[in-house]
Amino acid sequence: MKVKIVSVSVLDQEKALKFYTEKLGFIKKKDIPLSEGNRWLTVVSNEEPDGTEILLEPAPNHFEPSKVYQKALFDAGIPFTQFDVDNVDEEYKRLVERGVEFSMNPTVMGTAKFAVFNDTCGNNIQIVEEL
Amino acid sequence: MTFYEQEIRRIRNLLYSNQFQIDTVIATKNFIDGNSEKDLNLNLLSKILFTSKYHLQRLFKRHYGLTPKQYLINIRINKSKELMKKGVSVTETCFAVGFESLGSFSSLFKSRTGRPPIQYIKEQLSRSN
């Protein structure tokens, strides 16, 4: 077995594609039209173009429990997933300059530093640096 | 403050009250990061960090989930991948990243990436062609 894809549920695929590519700097990998306007839409890190793909899937719009779960996590400030960065402070600064909103500023806990931002599509995303 | 941030602060107070210990393991990791191609061992690390070697090993594993030696091997393997991607030979890579024998490099590389170094080089070549 191999890990090739991880899912991130999003409320709006087109908006998510813009955010993940234009704000975060990811690259669109696959965009396959499916029925009823849905897409098989994946992005990858520009630092790891052959790495694991993120599937931006519109689950919350088609399955009520998914929407409830996503909203509960979001309201509590809990990250849906996390991405590794080399330097949280620099990434935080870069993203704030691009208008990204953070619900938790860079915070150290033990041997890790992290921060949490809003992906504008229903999720909190955490960035992490191992100290 | 979100529920998540409150929890982070609460858990931090429970788990990470000894800042001196955390500073010691972070300093150990930074030292390994900056000297991974050199002949490093637990004796040397414990002398540099003024701590007992078994204590250091336990602390490191507790905070990073790996022993210092396992961490060092992972760093060297990652560096070896970068060198081989640039076309450096297996032998040259082996010694450049700090391994002392080709045999141990090959077996450690295979155990962590699923294939021996020569296979990795072939894959990189076929990818670039």
Q: Which of B4, B15, B25 sits opposite A78 (nearest CB)?
A: B4
Q: Read off the pLDDT of each residue in A26-47 and give the average, rounded to a whole number.
A: 95
Average pLDDT, chain A: 96
Rg (CA), chain B: 18
Question: Which of A5-14, A100-109, B117-126 shows the lowest mean pLDDT across its residues?
Answer: B117-126
Give the 3-state secondary structure of B60-117: HHHHHCCCHHHHHHHHHHHHHHHHHHCCCCHHHHHHHCCCCCHHHHHHHHHHHHCCCH
Tokens of B66: 């790996």
Q: What is the pLDDT of residue B105?
A: 96
The one-letter code for the residue type at B57 is Q
Q: What is the pLDDT of residue B57?
A: 92
Is B64 an 8 Å CB contact of chain A?
yes
- Of residues A57 and B15, the one with the higher pLDDT is A57
Edge-first strand order for the sheet with A124-130 is A79-84, A124-130, A112-118, A102-109
Q: What is the pLDDT of residue B119?
A: 94
Confidence label for B17 from pLDDT (cuts 50, 70 and 90): confident
pLDDT tens-digit series, residues B34-52: 999 999 888 888 888 778 8
Q: Read off the pLDDT of each residue in B10-26 and give the average, rounded to a whole number.
A: 90
Confidence label for A46 from pLDDT (cuts 50, 70 and 90): very high
* Interface confidence: ipTM more than 0.85: yes
Q: What is the pLDDT of residue B128?
A: 73
Question: Which of A100-109, B25-34, B68-77, B120-129 shows the lowest mean pLDDT across its residues?
Answer: B120-129
pTM of the model: 0.85
For A131, the closest chain B residue by CA position comes to B26
Q: What is the pLDDT of residue B125?
A: 85
Q: Read off the pLDDT of each residue in B82-107 and give the average, rounded to a whole number.
A: 94
With b for 16 or more beta-carbon neighbours within 10 A and e for fewer, the A98-115 pattern comes to eebeebbebebbbbebbb
Q: State whether A131 and B15 contact (CB < 8 Å).
A: no
Tell which A residues from 52 to 71 touch B, by Cβ distance under 8 Å.
none
Q: What is the pLDDT of residue A9?
A: 97
What structural domains does chain A harbor? Answer: 5-130 (3.10.180.10)
Q: Which of A104, A110, A131 sits opposite B4 (nearest CB)?
A: A104
pLDDT tens-digit series, residues A86-95: 999 999 999 9
What structural domains does chain B harbor? Answer: 3-71 (1.10.10), 76-128 (1.10.10)
Q: Which of A77, A109, A131 sits opposite B26 (nearest CB)?
A: A131
Is B115 an 8 Å CB contact of chain A?
no
Q: Read off the pLDDT of each residue in B64-77 and give the average, rounded to a whole number.
A: 95
Average pLDDT, chain B: 92
User: What backbone phi and psi angles, to 5 degrees, belong to A101?
Assistant: -100, 135
